[in-house]
Structure formats: C-alpha cells, structure tokens
C-alpha cells in the first residue's frame, strides 16, 4: 500500500506542515517535552513502583504458600494471624531495556484541522512520556541507531537532544539491529510504508526473540477520508500528486485498502507474538501511553520487562 496522501486543498495548514513550512522541530520540542512530562506524571501518579514479584528489597504483597515451596519462604508472623500460610513477596528490581522508535519521516508532519498535534508531535510526546515512565520504574530506554540505553532521570532531555541534532535521513521504520532477547521494542509510526518493508522490519527485530509493540499513529482524516469534490492529493515523501474529480467516490475503496493494510500488519505481529494497536491524534496521548504500559511484556513466551506475569508459579502447571 502506498503512503497515505496529504491533501493540499481544504487542508492548507496541514500541507504547509507536511512540506516543512510550519514550525521547526527544534522550536516545537520545548512544548512537546512539557506535554510529555505532564502526560507521564499523570500516569506515574497511578503507578506504584514496578508492582512485580521478584528479587528486591521492597515489600510488594503477601500470597498464599504453595505446596512444594521451601518452608523458609513462609512469613510466620503474617501466617499466625490467619488459618493459612503466607509468603512475603518483594518487588522486582532488575532493569531491562526498552527500545523506542519514533517515526520522524516527512509523512509524520501531517495534521488536519481535526487534530491538535501532527502525527510527529504526538509520536514524540508519547515516546518521551513512555521513556519517563519506564525510567521511573527502573528500566533502561534507548532509540535504535540514535541513543544507547540509559536509565538517566533526564532521559527526555537526552532523547530530545539526539533527535534534534540527528542529520541523517528520516527513516519511517527502525534500522536493523539485534536487540537482546529480553528487550522490549516499541515502534510508533504511521506505517504507510509498503507492507513488505513493514513485515521485514518486524521479522528482523523479533529474530533474537525480543518482544515488541507496533502502534500505527494516524490523523483522523486518514481513517475517514472525508473529502469530496475536486481534490488534489500530494505524496509528502515523494512529491507526486494525483487529482480526484469526485473524491467522495474514492472513499469506499480507500477504507478497504486501509483495512487490508492493517490486517496484513496484524497477521505478522500475531504470528510473532507482538502486539499491534492504532492511535488517532484526536485522542488523548495518555490513552496510548496507558495502553502501551499495560502491554509491556505480553509476549507469548513471557519475555520482556513483565515476563514474570506469564511465568508459571511454584506448584502450578505451565
């Protein structure tokens, strides 16, 4: 499927952004950083540590003793208050790596009047906010090809610096690299690349056993195709254009092609045990951040920062 075209009629401001006539990224970054920190703070407020069982020093919860476990794990003081034996569990404290890829290609500069942010701005806000939440939880965060994993508290500033000073071509999909089998990968893109490229990228990133999450970030008009009458569409990354005499007659075919493209992506992510989601830029950024945080570690093999959620407990069957 070709990249979704940006109309240069009825959406003049969107076209200006898509062709680089709007505000520069450097000028926009301070606002995006502030918004990302606001969104992250909202989510962090509802989280308490990593809330995961494992080796550590901080108490997490009591759970019932399971037959077959060492008797030394029983918390006798807690068990004396009840008719059952209880084990005292600690919070898991080991850090893992999460690679976040924000698509910064030209097609991401598009925004219709229905959305406050361009796709690029929304992608960066969520990328920064997710990094802040993960680092707050003790994880390391990196950007493939741009930034080595770090657990620094100023992770947002580090990400912003490497992004604004990156002079390389703005690729839609992450570069080929070999993540650790226990790593998590988050790809935020409009995913209008040819389906073969998308499949190859996901397959390569998952080859080591790493688990990942693919999110398609779209403007609302890219889903609904609300155009009618004579409209010229411009391809933001190639400059090619096409004119529709009656754009409304294209709507049904366009929506079917979008649905097929997404179904092809979902089949590949399902096959590899990855997750796939869609985020519209007219929806709150916090909505996507919460969804991503809840999906971390949801792989079929239980790999990644929440892999213990899927690990069989003592005395249970796999």
What pLDDT does 93 receive?
A: 45
The pLDDT of 118-140, averaged and rounded, is: 95
pTM score, whole prediction: 0.75
For the chain, what are the domain ranges?
6-50+94-305, 59-90
pLDDT tens-digit map of 251-268:
999 999 999 999 999 999
Other Cβ atoms within 10 Å of 300 Cβ, number: 11
Total residues belonging to the chain:
318
What pLDDT does 318 receive?
A: 28
Q: What is the CA radius of gyration of the chain?
A: 22
The pLDDT of 118-137, averaged and rounded, is: 95
Dihedral angle of Cα 181, 37, 295, 278, to the nearest 10 degrees: -110
Closest C-alpha to 49, from 173, 136, 159, 122: 136
What pLDDT does 73 receive?
A: 80
CA 13 to chain centre: 27
39-43, 52-56, 273-277, 283-287: segment of lowest average pLDDT: 52-56
Q: Hey, which of 8-22, 51-65, 67-81 has the most confident mean pLDDT?
A: 67-81
Where residue 16 falls among pLDDT bands split at 50, 70, 90? very low
What pLDDT does 96 receive?
A: 82
Judged on CB neighbours under 10 Å (0-12, 13-18, 19+), 278 is middle
Residues in CB range of 18: below 8 A, 6 or more apart:
6, 106, 107, 109, 110, 234, 236
Tokens 């096959």 correspond to what residue?
271
> Are the beta carbons of 282 and 220 closer than 8 angstroms?
yes
Residue by residue, DSSP assigns 153-219 as: TTHHHHHHHHHHT--S---SSPPP----TT-EEEEEE---S-HHHHHHHHHHHTTTS-EEEEEEEE-
């Amino acid at each position: 499927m070709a990249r979704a075209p940006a109309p240069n009629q009825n959406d003049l401001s969107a076209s200006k952004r898509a062709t680089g006539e709007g505000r520069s990224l450097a000028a926009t970054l301070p606002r995006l950083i502030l918004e990302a920190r606001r969104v992250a703070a909202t989510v962090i407020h509802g989280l308490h540590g990593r809330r995961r069982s494992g080796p550590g020093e901080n108490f997490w919860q009591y759970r019932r003793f399971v037959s077959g476990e060492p008797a030394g794990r029983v918390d006798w003081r807690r068990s004396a208050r009840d008719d059952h034996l209880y084990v005292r569990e600690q919070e898991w404290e080991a850090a893992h790596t999460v690679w976040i890829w924000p698509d910064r290609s030209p097609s991401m500069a598009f925004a219709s009047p229905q959305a406050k942010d361009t796709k690029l701005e929304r992608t960066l806000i969520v990328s920064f906010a997710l990094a802040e939440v993960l680092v707050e939880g003790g994880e390391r965060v990196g950007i493939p090809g741009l930034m080595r994993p770090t657990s620094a508290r100023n992770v947002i500033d580090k990400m912003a610096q490497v992004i604004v000073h990156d002079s390389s071509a703005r690729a839609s999909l992450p570069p080929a690299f070999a993540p650790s089998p226990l790593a998590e990968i988050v790809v935020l893109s409009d995913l209008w690349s040819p389906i073969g490229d998308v499949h190859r990228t996901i397959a390569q990133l998952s080859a080591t056993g790493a688990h990942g999450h693919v999110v398609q970030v779209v403007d609302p008009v890219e889903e609904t195709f609300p155009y009618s009458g004579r409209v010229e569409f411009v391809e933001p990354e190639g400059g090619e254009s096409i004119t529709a005499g009656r754009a409304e007659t294209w709507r049904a075919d366009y929506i079917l092609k979008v649905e097929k493209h997404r179904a092809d992506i979902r089949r590949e992510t399902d096959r590899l045990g990855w997750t796939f989601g869609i985020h519209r830029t007219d929806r709150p950024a916090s909505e996507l951040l919460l969804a991503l945080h809840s999906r971390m570690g949801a792989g079929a093999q239980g790999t990644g920062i929440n892999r213990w959620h899927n690990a069989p407990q003592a005395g249970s069957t796999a």
